[in-house]
Chains A and B, each alone.
Chain A
Amino acid sequence: MKRIKQLFIIIALITLPAMAFANTGTEIMQRVQDVQKADSSAMDIRLGLIESNGEVRERRIQTLTLTENGLTNTITVFLSPASVKNTRFLTRQRNDGTDDQWIYLPALGRVKRIAASEGSGSFMGSDFSYSDMASTTYDTDEANHTLIREETINNRNAYVIESIPFTTSDYGKTVIWVDKETYLPLKVEFYEKDETTLLKRLITDDIAFTDGRWITKSITMTTIATNHSTRIEILQAKYNIPMNSGYFTTSFLETGRVL
């Protein structure tokens, strides 16, 4: 369950506005990290799971995120596929940093509290592995970031930053192309522990200026070995909007109404 929450952290990571100029790897990544902050956000997301034979399976979810008093709460509603439509999932951050999680399964008509230990594996059969993504070296205290070069990618100038995590993780190294103008990652390569074998490649397919900020509209993660890929599209996004905290309650989860 924790993975679902992590998905939104990742999406938040890639939908951030540009900030001031920075010139070392750590500074650049700090900027990427700093500009993530938003008190509230709403997102409408489509996931396309693309098989190596080209077959595509779609999922659609909407999320609301609200940070109050330094604590972040998220609610996710599954819109499709039809079998899980209206499944709702609530995460509330506690003061100790851990999360309370509840799920509402419409077929069951009940809210169930969920307590799950951290796991690994892919999110909803996608190429995004969220226990792995937790070590995506964006965080400056998690990895050593080095600006290795600057280059042009898809007609955009980018910093190329090599991030090597301090502690052993599922990746030995990531290489990130950060857009100089927007500070959005344009491309990320995830390497095996040997730091030379490419495992996955994340490509930013589309960026847009929406709701007063630059956001990544579409990204595709490809697992090199299986040639399986997942495209995440941000269909709609809103930031720093007034939001009723009543959405983040088990009552809303169960009834679908803000009391």
Chain B
Amino acid sequence: MKKTTSKDLAIILGAILLAVASLSLLGRLHIDSSTDAFIPQKAEVVSINNEIERQFGSMDAMLVGISTQSGSVLTAQSLEIIEAMTVQFSTIEGVDSVVSLTNSDHMQSSSDGFEAVSLYNKNEADPIANLSKRLAEWPEVYDGTIISTDRTMAAIIIQPKTNLSQEAQDTILKELKAIVDATPRNSLQFSYVGLPVVKQQINESLMQDMAILAPIVGLLIILVLFFSFRRFGGVLLPLIGLVISASITVGIMAILNITFTMATMLVPVLLLIVGSAYAIHVMSHFYAEVALFNRTLDPGETQVIIHEVVHRNRLPIIMAGATTAAGFIAQFTSPLGPFRTFGLLSAIGVILSQLSALYLLPALLRVTYRNGIDPNKLRTSREQKRARKGGHPAFALLTRISLKGRIPLIVISVIFIIATVALVPTIKTGTNMLDFFKPSSALVKDTNRFNSTMNGSGILTVMIDGKDPSAVLTPQFLAALDEFSATMEKLPAVGKVQTVTPYIKRMNLIMNKDTEPYSKATQTEASFDFFGGSFGLDADFDVEEDVIETNSAVTWDPQTYHEIPTDPAKYGLETDQDLQNMISQYLLLYSGNLNNFINDSLEPNATLITIQLQQSDTQILRDTTAAINTYWTDYLDNGWEYAIGGGEAIALALSDLVTKSQIYSLVGALLIVWVLVSIIFRSPAAGFLGLIPVVFALMGIFSFMALLKIHLDIITSLLAALAIGIGVDYAIHFLAAFQRQDTSKDQKQVLARVMNTTGRAIVINAASVIIGFSGLIFSRFMPIKQMGILFCVSMLFAGISSLTVLPMVIHMWQPKFIYNHNANKSEQKSITSNKRRITP
């Protein structure tokens, strides 16, 4: 006896110590909940983006919007604020460049050439009028980029250095916000937009969300335990086990250096919910066994009951745990790393919960009731009354429905199946990180406002590589690039297509608007070498004169030079190569400032196109990508290559991977569960029967996803396999209960007995899981909130179908593994054999 108690104390202390040690590792957890953490590093789009960053610099710009409720931001006061911020932003560590109205150069023609002047120069006369005039001169570059067309919003574009960690980017954002907060507002409104902002918000909210969800879910589980057992011990003992197994799982995450993503963050919360079901099983069986007696049980008798309860529940708990773990393990088929990690961790967690229910909880029970237990304190009068009446009327109704309602049940099921099949194709996939936030959140509002006023914050890029130096400067290619911009900008979601062509057109206009090209005689070029011949003396270079005929002046119109030069004759040149050289010479004047568009400042072989999107749901991304593919596949010659990248390309690739992952894990989970159930009952038919509640759970998930317009995303796609793993438990319990019955007796009686025992357990189990998951509704992240809703729906469907459709099919089909298996078996076998040893 003493030996047992010290063994129990050792188990309890050991578990508590492990949990405390695990929690002490919390600080080591690395958090990254951007969708970047989900995309496999070997994915094509990742290497494309890396190559784009290598050649053209960072793409993840942060944008600060400055807007007025009414009127224009082009006032001296607003511009002073923008200027001060621009200066301060550029001193932040990790910032590569800052672009705004107040630090941009404007290119214009001067009396005898070209000048780059400040776009805004507060020291000149009438600076605002000059700024407005300059902005109007080159709208294709300025409008929607640093100033809105209606002039109500200006933007400061902050480009971080390449290869910055998420933490470094978060620090930049914090400093940006600190600067903005310290700035007098003067009725201006500030907004923060861009992918780094979204990522930072997710990271910042993740721990807070976890800190809110865990206590809420914990509280809900406490409520479930309280209403189930109405005893302090009945609440506390299971809870200790749950908290310990969840804590150890977190510790394992920290030790294995597993990144805390939005998926893995759910593991501890899920374990609290799933683990509570096992604990409820053990506790309810323990109290039920004790309640059979009318007198206080001595310590020895209590120990025997605990041993018997554990013995009886070991197999069901292991089976239920195995199928739930199977649902999690099905995530191993996913192409997404964090999903596999989620699967592994959850499976480990489920095993820990099982161990806790089978070893820690009994140890706690033995220690708590070491002096024996009085059953009279346990039974409520309602339970006693119900026991006398022979069951809850609801179960009588369910029994009647199962036996008599065959046709309505089949009709409803068929309608449900047809509806689901029709609805599934309407489910939208999407992993847009902005969609993680509530539409009412500041981030979503800011972004929507920015997108509707400016060119859009969603970015798709196209890198075109012509392989040879200057390949992308051929007049024909540049003209095609210009046409591409025009074509894409006709698409409704495309705000702007940024390419190098406006810069070339502008320089071409400036260089040719004052003087007609080659209107006077010129000579061929000499090959200079200051170090050759008589350099350093007063001697002249020996230049051979060769006068070229002048071009006709008849057609000369300065405004026609705002173009990509494609006609050599118009420029007094002979070949396309000459035009290409002219364009290279224009680029020289930009002194490497076009590095975001071309990969070499003089002879680029590759160019980058940036497509700004005002909306970026998956369908829009697919349509835009298709339009890009159509255009460039048709245009580009052999040897040329193009690749689509950008933040939205990652989102699109992730959406596809999520869909793939969903299909794999769904098929995987169904298969594993079918095999497991078939093995448990030694019958493939049992496997199929086991899938009935699972199929209903899945239909519930997918039809509600379609109806509630919930996207299939990185979180909601975890749900199906999880629902399979948990939903099949109901079928296993139900089938096992049927197997224990003497099926030769009256069907109604048999079913009524199963309904009142196992059916009741299923209802409690489903209710506890539903109540636990409803806690997720309090998440600030939409996918987690939606997961909570969908899980409740799926468990409801699984529970109802296992108490109606499943018995109906068993009754109709009369499978051999039930009806031939146990004619002589009695459900109470183990209990009666046990009771013989303890006299009531």
Residues of A within 8 A of B (CB): 1, 3-4, 42, 44, 49, 52, 57, 59, 62, 64, 77-79, 81-87, 102-103, 105-117, 119-126, 168, 192-194, 197, 225-226, 236, 238, 241-244, 255-258
Contacts and interface: CB of A to CB of B under 8 A. Distances in A.
A175 to B, nearest CB: 18
B1 to A, nearest CB: 65
Interface in B595-652: 595, 600-603
Contact of B581 (A107, A116, A125): A107
24 contacts: A1-B116, A42-B535, A49-B600, A62-B530, A64-B530, A81-B584, A81-B603, A83-B602, A84-B588, A85-B525, A107-B579, A108-B585, A109-B517, A110-B511, A112-B112, A113-B113, A119-B593, A122-B595, A125-B600, A193-B93, A197-B93, A226-B162, A256-B526, A256-B543
A83 B581 contact: yes
B531 A257 contact: no
Contact of B589 (A110, A114, A236, A255): A114
B114 A114 contact: yes
A59 B584 CA distance: 13
Given A106-B585, A115-B115, A117-B117, A168 B525 contact: no
A211 to B, nearest CB: 12
A108 B588 CA distance: 13
B602 A59 contact: yes
Given A83-B584, A115-B115, A225-B162, A123 B591 contact: yes
B530 A109 contact: no
A258 B115 CA distance: 27
Given A107-B578, A117-B105, A83 B112 contact: no
B593 A121 contact: yes
B585 A241 contact: no
Contact of A81 (B110, B114, B602): B602
B522 interface: yes
Contact of B469 (A1, A81, A117, A242): A81
Contacts of B526: 86, 256
B425 interface: no
Contacts of B469: 57, 81
Q: Which of A78, A125, A258 has the most B CB atoms < 10 Å from its CB?
A: A125
Interface residues of B, number: 62
Contacts of A193: 91, 93
B118 A87 contact: no
B93 A4 contact: no
Interface of B: 54, 91, 93, 97, 105, 110-118, 161-163, 469-470, 473, 511-512, 515, 517-518, 522-523, 525-531, 535-538, 540-541, 543, 571-573, 578-582, 584-586, 588-589, 591-593, 595, 600-603
Contacts of A117: 105, 116-118
B117 A115 contact: yes
Given A64-B530, A116-B115, 9 more contacts: A81-B603, A86-B525, A105-B511, A108-B517, A112-B113, A122-B592, A122-B601, A125-B601, A256-B526
Contacts of A197: 93
Contacts of A243: 536
A112 B573 CA distance: 18
Contacts of A125: 592, 595, 600-602
Contacts of B161: 225
Nearest to A79: B528
B495 to A, nearest CB: 26
A85 to B, nearest CB: 8
Given A124-B591, A125-B600, A107 B540 contact: no
Contacts of A64: 530
A124 B511 contact: no
A109 B593 contact: no
Contacts of A124: 588, 591-592, 601-602
A158 to B, nearest CB: 29
B115 A44 contact: no
Contacts of B601: 122, 124-125
A257 B543 contact: yes
A84 B116 contact: no
A90 to B, nearest CB: 12
A238 B531 CA distance: 9
A243 B543 CA distance: 19
B585 A107 contact: yes
Contact of B541 (A3, A123, A194, A257): A257
A83 B529 contact: no
Contact of B592 (A102, A110, A116, A121): A121
A121 B593 CA distance: 6
B531 A62 contact: yes
B114 A121 contact: no
Given A113-B113, A116-B116, A124-B592, A83 B93 contact: no
A21 to B, nearest CB: 34
Contacts of B593: 119, 121
Nearest to B579: A107
B110 A123 contact: no
B591 A112 contact: no
Nearest to A170: B90
A86 to B, nearest CB: 5
Nearest to A102: B113
B537 A242 contact: yes
Contacts of B586: 105
